[in-house]
Amino acid sequence: MAKREYSYYPGCSSQDGASSSNLKRSIDTMCEVLDVKLNEIPDWNCCSASIGYGSGGVLPRMSLSARNIALSEQHNPGQDIVATCAACWLATKEAAERFKEDENFFQEANTVLAEANLKMTNQTPIRHMCEVLIEDIGYEALSEGVKKPLEGVKIAGYVGCQTNRPFGIAGESFENPMYLDKMVDALGGESIPTYEKKVQCCGGALAFSEPEKSQEMIKGIIEAAYDNGADMIATPCPLCQANVEIYQDQINERFGTKFEMPVVYYSQLIDVAYGRSAEDAALDGQIIKAKKLEDIAGK
């Protein structure tokens, strides 16, 4: 039996053939090496992220999260819900808190759930995978399992917005969270605690609707990584990862830059440091190859 078990909410972008399917693959490998069992919430639905507000009101939006909470209670009782996507985590946690603060709102959500023959008690803690790593496993235990330290790899820890605000990780500051840097250090890599763009917004959903405005911000995130001598950027957020990695061609064209900065997930760093192959770490999902990680994985 696995040491730890959680109710897992992977989210839309993690599905096969979706933009962060590489996150899910690397998380699966990470959970294998850390002896964590993830029980996917059966039939989970989209949380509507942070862009659904324009069409869904408050109750419709939060009902989406209520359904996931109810399904988790029913199928994975007693297990904390763990999300790997910043928006999934934020939307679910926000809904759960709103239901706790406002009894009427909680009743309304249950009235809505009854339409699908569901109900929730809303007692389940809603957690981010990074909280599992930091609070349940810990940096020390994380570093103990390292087989191939990420020696000589300089990594800019890009936390982004929604993994960091408004909830964030307990004990960390909103302006300068250190947990990604500590993770990098625990894996034997070289962190950049002073990376000044670690909580800069990448534009989020506006990278699609307002590309000019967003790409200007993304440019700053990448530029600062170069200025700090980073070999790659690592992030916990699927939208941060995509926005910062996939538009580099367009940014180069727009601003005359010559960016080619790999952007990986913390889970991929762990997979490689724990001795797993480039494929298990889903490094084949990079558009800009993380060569230094591939080299370590191939050793």
Partner 1 sequence: MSDMNTAMVEKYRNDFLKEVGANVEEGRWVKMCMQCGVCSGSCPLGPYWEHPPQEIFMMIRAGKRDEVLTSDSMWMCTSCYNCIVRCPRELPITHIMHGLATYAKRLGLAPKNQPTAQFSEIFWNNMMKRGRVNELKLGLSLYFKDGFSQGIKNALANQKLGMNMMKAKRMSPAEFFGGHGIKDVSGLQKMIKKAKEIELGKLKANS
At closest approach, how far in Å is the CB of 287 from partner 1?
Answer: 5
Check residue 255 for interaction with partner 1 (CB under 8 A). no
Q: In the stretch 266-295, what mask flags binding to partner 1 with x, by CB under 8 A?
A: ------------------xxxx--------
Q: What angle do CA 178, 84, 40 make, to 5 degrees?
A: 150
At closest approach, how far in Å is the CB of 46 from partner 1?
Answer: 4
113 vs 153, which CB is nearer to partner 1?
113
* CA nearest neighbour of 235 among 167, 125, 158, 171: 158
What are the tokens at 103?
């009894």
- Residue 157, classed as helix, strand or coil, is strand
137 vs 206, which CB is nearer to partner 1?
206
Q: By the 8 A CB rule, do 46 and 40 touch?
A: no
Distance of CA 106 to the CA centre of its chain: 27
Check residue 55 for interaction with partner 1 (CB under 8 A). yes
70 vs 187, which CB is nearer to partner 1?
70
* CA nearest neighbour of 247 among 282, 278, 221: 221
Check residue 92 for interaction with partner 1 (CB under 8 A). no
Q: By the 8 A CB rule, do 36 and 4 touch?
A: yes
Q: By the 8 A CB rule, do 146 and 271 touch?
A: no
At closest approach, how far in Å is the CB of 26 from partner 1?
Answer: 13
Q: Please select the residue that binds partner 1; options are 206, 226, 252, 254, rule is CB under 8 A.
A: 206
Amino acid at 83: A
Q: Please select the residue that binds partner 1; options are 26, 27, 67, 127, rule is CB under 8 A.
A: 67
Stretch that binds partner 1, among 76-84, 131-139, 195-203, 229-237 (CB under 8 A): 195-203
142 vs 207, which CB is nearer to partner 1?
207
Stretch that binds partner 1, among 1-9, 37-45, 177-185, 228-236 (CB under 8 A): 37-45
Check residue 140 for interaction with partner 1 (CB under 8 A). no
Q: How many CB atoms lie within 10 A of CB 94?
A: 18
Check residue 171 for interaction with partner 1 (CB under 8 A). no
User: How many residues contact partner 1, by CB under 8 A?
Assistant: 64
Integer Rg of the chain from CA: 19
C-alpha 200/C-alpha 286 separation (Å) is: 22
Distance of CA 53 to the CA centre of its chain: 21
Place of tokens 């009101």: 57
Residues in contact with partner 1 by the rule CB under 8 A: 12-13, 15-22, 43-46, 48-60, 63-64, 67, 108, 111-113, 115-118, 161-162, 165-166, 174, 200-201, 203-206, 208-210, 213-214, 217, 242, 246-247, 249-250, 284-287
